[in-house]
Structure formats: C-alpha cells, structure tokens
Structure 1
Amino acid sequence: MNAVELKQANYTVNHAGAFSDFGNVTEGKLKGKIFLKAALSLTSMEVSLNNLPPGGEVPFYHKHLENEELYIFLKGQGRIQVDGEELDVFEGSSVRIARDGTRALRNTSASEDLHFIVVQAKENSLAQWAETDGVILEQPVAWEKVAE
C-alpha cells in the first residue's frame, strides 16, 4: 500500500491512498499509521499519515529524544494531552509539541475517523525557511496541455 510510485533525482512520489483506508495498516505500534520516511527517502524529517477510528486512542504516553512533533488535523475531532493538559483538536487544528512534552491522543467522536499528519524534525534545527531558503527563478511557468 505504501510503495514508492516514482523516484527521480530531485523528487519521489508515493500514493498511500485515502486516509479512510488506513484502518487495517500497521506500521510501528499502531494500526492506521503510515510512515513516509522510507517510501519518500526523507532525510530531514519523519512524516506519518494517520487515521484514528471513532473512540480510538494512542494507548501510551510518549515523548522524543531529539524530535519535536507537529500534528496537523485534517478531519474529525479529538483531544490531545500534553504534560497532563487536555486540548480539543479538530479539522484545521495544528499542535507543536517539544521533544520533552509527554503526549497522548484520542478520537472523541463516536462516528467519525480522526485524520491527521504528524511531522517530526530535530528540535532547534531549522536554520532556514521559505523566505530565507526559497529562490524565485526568472523562468516562466509552463504546464502541459491536458485533454478535456
């Protein structure tokens, strides 16, 4: 399901499928999680695509040795717990958690999956970002014509 679709010198493409189909996938300790590090040959971050079923939860607390995590919620509703404090999350919520933050997550819906993306990167390692790292090229953008 998580096979590399296309690998070129400057990009790799993976089509993991619909979040709603992740329920039977098991990568790591939980069902519903797909890691993209190997599939995309990632070198500076770990990214996972996640589907937590109605009433589901991460049944353990965890923290990280070096990586902060960014949770980006795409669909559903839940609660994330960080250092004992519980926060509501829903579509459009983003939560950054420092490496030492003790965390757990649950889906509070009785009928809807909770879809989210988690990005991990080494804490305090970001030295450049879009406005300081991006270079706008003078080359005009050209798209291939798509048949209608």
Structure 2
Amino acid sequence: MPPLESTRIHGLEITQTEHRFELIELDRFRYTTPKQIQAFVNHLYGIEQHLRLLNAKRGMLTDGTMPEYLIRRTGGVVGLLGRLIEDGAQEAMDSGREVLDEDLLDEIVLRREEMTDAPDEPVPAATAPVARRSSGVQRRSRNTVFDDHGPRTADDRTG
C-alpha cells in the first residue's frame, strides 16, 4: 500500500517516532577555538556530575588530557560520547575499578560508521583500542540498589 498522505510533511516521509517526539538534530562538538573547547568541557562537566561511580573524582572527565582523549575517540559526536561513557561506566562497575580513565575507556569499542567527516580539531591521532581483558573469572555485578537516582517526585512518595 502507498503511504498515507498524512505521513508526508514538506515532502518528507515521517516515521511514527517523529510523530511522537520532537527530534532535535545536534551537530558534533568542535575543538578548535577556546569557545568550542569550553562548550565541550562544560558538557563533560554536566555528564560528570551525574556519574555515580564509587571511586569517581572531581575532574574525572574534565581535567588533564581527558577532554582531548574524548574528542579524539568520538569526533565530538554527542551520541558516541554518551555511548562511550555509558559503556565505560558499566565496565568500571563490572571490573570493580569504579572510575573512568583513559586505560578503561581504551577497552571500549565504538562503532564509528556514524561519523562521516573527520574531526576538525587539532588533536593527535588516536591509538588503537586495547582488546578487552578477560581473567576467565566471572565477577559478580555491583549492586546498584543504593545508587543515587536524584530527587524523588511527589508521585514516588505517595505510592
């Protein structure tokens, strides 16, 4: 069957997801001017404030060479940055390290086919990711029951 006329807006095919949500197209972060660098570091700071790792320290994502490392690994693509940090946090909990650092993030493999342009920032070339280490011993996952999930809503308190 041909698509319904109501699924076409401005000549473009609209999916069910696009009907339900407002899609926002984000450009990648750039890392060439002080203003662009500050915007990226501010974004990292916001992410850092929400990470709940037992050995996390202030500046874990924003100090030293970590911003350059993250821009190099992700090309400034917000989705890849989120995936790298999320997978890294899971690996940090599973391994018992409970902190994100370059050594741990090197173990995370990203699919980069989503990146069409080479990053335009003057950051040295990335090193090849290190293969995941396996000790052969299955570690028990960390209990996340007591992790801080933010303030509770009024609905949570009544039920």
Q: TM-score, normalised by structure 1?
A: 0.25
Structure with the largest fraction of helix? 2
Structure 1 or 2: more strand by fraction: 1
- Greater C-alpha radius of gyration: 2
